[in-house]
């Protein structure tokens, strides 16, 4: 590309603050947002991915740090250093790294410019002539208001929003004037207000704000254990003492937070539904739940691992053309088969005249994604359904079964009994998830679970092992009669069962159960 000399010359005179891509030796202050990795900006994500060094607030969750390159060096800085000036010390560290020519991101919670010590941290950089870039982030109150369904301004209730700290540094030049604030109508967002909630709430009331003014508290906004609660200025201190909402929390004060009747009339609105399938396999169910207004909580109880060794699968793939049918019991089986076929440098031609069968529409769709056409999907998505569909097509046939390392043996037994030759191959292993980590526990306990969805016998066993007696408090939705049988044998009979063994079928079963409940409880007048 032709670049005129003059332009090249001017581009070297970099201004102190720029909005272009960071070059070596430039420091980007990136707002991480409130905590959930989806709430960072695209520009922030780009800077994070290309950073060599990330200097981050200790509170930024690992789920956001993990968006960065795994080669990037992470340096946490404490937010509340007790000695010296934490802002300037961090600024000096940034100068050192930038002068060493490293691509540095300073990752800060929320927006870098809101209670972010931005002035202190950028001062040493500016003094050293190092260019600084600011990438904005979603500040806590914006995320909190969205989560709590609170409009921060409204034509009827508030035409201004004030962001204020509830934790004043003693030596601050301009302390928060709570009297003036009390006189100002509109919405108040109090950051760092947990420790001294009683003090600032009382000061606002003493200065004339009504003690009945509604407040909304959002604790750990967008984190797995987010909590939302309401109180009034008069009851706030007591509410904090009773509930001990964990930090960080932001408090929104003003008439905009007055409770309104929920407008969401979707069938699963307000319900939390636990999804237990392995990672990467719960998307369809999660989407169905979300569409109906429910909250899907995904905690896999089994994980998918490679089989003990690949030899059996590789052999079977090598001899694929010698089979009449290759039967896939699950999406994982298809993926593993297709991946090994590709890894061997082969393609569909290796399968010759073998026909392909799949249990369930999702498995058939996975074949399609792998570029393989499915010849048969039995009407009933079960091993029995598959045997019933295959038998009429076979005379002394050879059948290859691609499946998990454990599970039922029905297909092999019945096909062999009917005189066919069966080769069974484990294309993947399912391993139980042994324990819940702290994050998982927090997500489970953040609010009551309404339903747990169980989609196979192995998952039923994994769920009972992992959740135990907790499951007694939840309603259980089962994917199929076989799954229900395992649940019942474990002492946890399901409350409902899908008619059609699919994500949609499972959600329909939950809706049918609710509908039956509603009709049971309807008054005679309603039914008439
Ligand atoms: N720069 C940050 C604010 C830093 S001050 C921002 O723009 O959001 C720290 C305060 O921010 C906390 O005391 C709390 O009041 C608020 N805060 C930050 N993250 C939060 C979160 N995920 N949920 C609730 N409040 C949060």
- Pocket lining: 33 vs ligand 1, CB cutoff 6 Å: no
pLDDT at 436: 87
The yes/no answer on whether domain 141-169+176-257 falls in CATH 3.30.950.10 is yes
Answer whether residue 6 shows pLDDT above 50.
no
DSSP state of 219: E
Coil, strand or helix at 474: coil
Q: Which of 121-130, 168-177, 240-249 has the lowest mean pLDDT?
A: 168-177
Mean pLDDT, the chain, integer: 88
Residues 6, 463: Cα–Cα separation, whole Å: 67
Q: Round to whole Å and give the CA distance between 402 and 398.
A: 13
The predicted model scores a pTM of 0.60
Q: For residue 34, which atom of ligand 1 is closest to its CA?
A: 22
Output the residue whose Cα is nearest ligand 1's atom 4. 115
Protein residue closest via CA to atom 2 of ligand 1: 110
233 three-class SS: coil
Taking only the tens place, the pLDDT of each residue in 444-474 is: 887 789 999 999 998 999 999 999 999 999 9
Closest-CA residue to 466 (of 509, 431, 506, 497): 431
Identical fold for domains 5-138 and 141-169+176-257, yes or no, is no
Statement: 5-138 belongs to CATH 3.40.50.170: no
| Domain residue extents for the chain | 5-138, 141-169+176-257, 272-301+433-521, 321-414
CATH of span 321-414? 3.40.50.10090
Nearest to 186 by CA among 160, 156, 154: 160
Q: Is 108 exposed, middle or buried (0-12, 13-18, 19+ CB in 10 A)?
A: buried
Q: Is the CB of 386 under 6 A from ligand 1?
A: no
- In the CATH scheme, what is the code of domain 272-301+433-521? 3.40.50.10090
Residue 1: per-residue pLDDT: 34
Q: How many whole angstroms separate alpha carbon 30 and alpha carbon 54?
A: 10
Q: How far is the CA of 250 from the centre of ligand 1 (A)?
A: 7
**Residue 374's pLDDT band (cuts 50, 70, 90):** very high
Closest to 454 (Cα-Cα) out of 274, 269, 271 = 274
Q: Residue 92 in 3-state DSSP? A: helix
- Mutation test of ligand 1: which of 40, 139, 248, 249 has the most ligand atoms closer than 8 Å to its C-beta? 248
CA of 35 to the centre of ligand 1 (A): 9
The preferred substitution site among 37, 60, 78, 110 for testing ligand 1, maximizing ligand atoms within 8 Å of CB, is: 110
Q: How far is the CA of 192 from the centre of ligand 1 (A)?
A: 7
Quick one: average pLDDT of 464-490?
A: 95
Ligand 1: distance of its center to the CA of 358 in Å?
50
Strand partners, 355: 325
For residue 305, the surrounding DSSP H or E stretch is strand 302-305
pLDDT higher than threshold 70 for residue 17: no
| CA-192 nearest atom, ligand 1 | 13
Q: Which two tokens stand for residue 33?
A: 């947002």
Give CA–CA dist 272/497, Å, rounded. 18
| pLDDT digits 0-9 by tens, 329-344 | 999 999 999 999 999 9
Q: Which residue has the tokens 């091993």?
A: 383
419-454 b/e (C-beta count within 10 Å ≥ 16 → b): ebebbbbbbbbbeebeebeeebebbbebeebbbbbb
């Amino acid at each position: 590309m032709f670049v005129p000399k003059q332009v090249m010359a001017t581009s070297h005179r970099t201004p102190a603050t720029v909005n272009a891509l960071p070059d070596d030796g430039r420091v980007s202050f990136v707002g991480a947002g409130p905590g959930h990795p989806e709430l960072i900006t695209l520009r922030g994500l780009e800077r994070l991915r290309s950073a060599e060094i990330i200097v981050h607030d200790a509170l930024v969750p690992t789920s956001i740090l993990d968006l960065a390159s795994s080669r990037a060096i992470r340096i946490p800085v404490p937010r509340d250093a007790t000695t010296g000036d934490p802002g300037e010390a961090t600024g000096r560290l940034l100068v050192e790294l930038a002068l060493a020519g490293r691509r540095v991101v300073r990752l800060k919670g929320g927006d870098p410019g809101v209670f972010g010590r931005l002035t202190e941290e950028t001062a040493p950089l500016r003094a050293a002539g190092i260019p600084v870039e600011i990438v904005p982030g979603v500040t806590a109150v914006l995320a909190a208001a969205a989560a709590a369904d609170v409009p921060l301004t409204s034509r009827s209730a508030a035409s201004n929003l004030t962001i204020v700290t509830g934790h004043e540094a003693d030596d601050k030049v301009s302390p928060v004037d709570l009297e003036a604030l009390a006189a100002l109508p509109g919405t108040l967002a109090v950051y760092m207000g947990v420790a001294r909630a009683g003090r600032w709430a009382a000061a606002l009331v003493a200065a004339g704000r009504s003690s009945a003014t509604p407040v909304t508290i959002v604790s750990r906004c967008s984190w797995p254990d987010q909590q939302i609660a309401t109180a009034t200025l008069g009851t706030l201190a007591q509410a904090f003492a009773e509930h001990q909402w964990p930090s960080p929390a932001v408090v929104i004060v003003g008439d905009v937070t007055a409770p309104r009747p929920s407008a969401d009339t979707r069938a699963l609105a307000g319900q939390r539904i636990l999804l237990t399938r392995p990672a990467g396999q719960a998307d369809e169910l999660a989407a169905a739940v979300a569409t109906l207004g429910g909250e899907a909580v995904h905690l896999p109880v089994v994980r998918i691992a490679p089989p003990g060794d690949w030899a059996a699968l590789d052999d079977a793939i090598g001899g694929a053309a010698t089979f009449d049918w290759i039967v896939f019991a699950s999406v994982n089986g298809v993926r593993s088969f297709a991946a090994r076929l590709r890894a061997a440098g082969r393609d569909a031609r290796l399968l010759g005249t073998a026909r392909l069968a799949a249990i369930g529409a999702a498995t058939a769709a996975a074949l399609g994604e792998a570029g393989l056409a499915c010849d048969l999907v039995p009407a009933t998505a079960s091993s029995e359904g598959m045997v019933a569909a295959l038998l009429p097509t076979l005379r002394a046939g050879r059948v290859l079964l691609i499946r998990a390392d454990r599970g039922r043996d029905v297909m092999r037994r019945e096909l062999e009994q009917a005189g066919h030759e069966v080769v069974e191959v484990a294309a993947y292993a399912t391993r139980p998830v042994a324990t819940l980590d702290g994050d998982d526990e927090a997500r489970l306990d953040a609010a009551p679970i309404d339903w747990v969805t169980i989609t196979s016998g192995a998952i039923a066993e994994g769920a009972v092992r992992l959740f135990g007696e907790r499951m007694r408090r939840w309603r259980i939705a089962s994917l199929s009669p076989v799954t229900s049988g395992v649940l019942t044998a474990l002492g946890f009979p399901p409350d409902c069962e899908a008619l059609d063994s699919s994500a949609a079928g499972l959600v329909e079963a939950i809706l049918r159960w609710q509908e039956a409940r509603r009709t049971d409880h309807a008054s005679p007048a309603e039914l008439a």
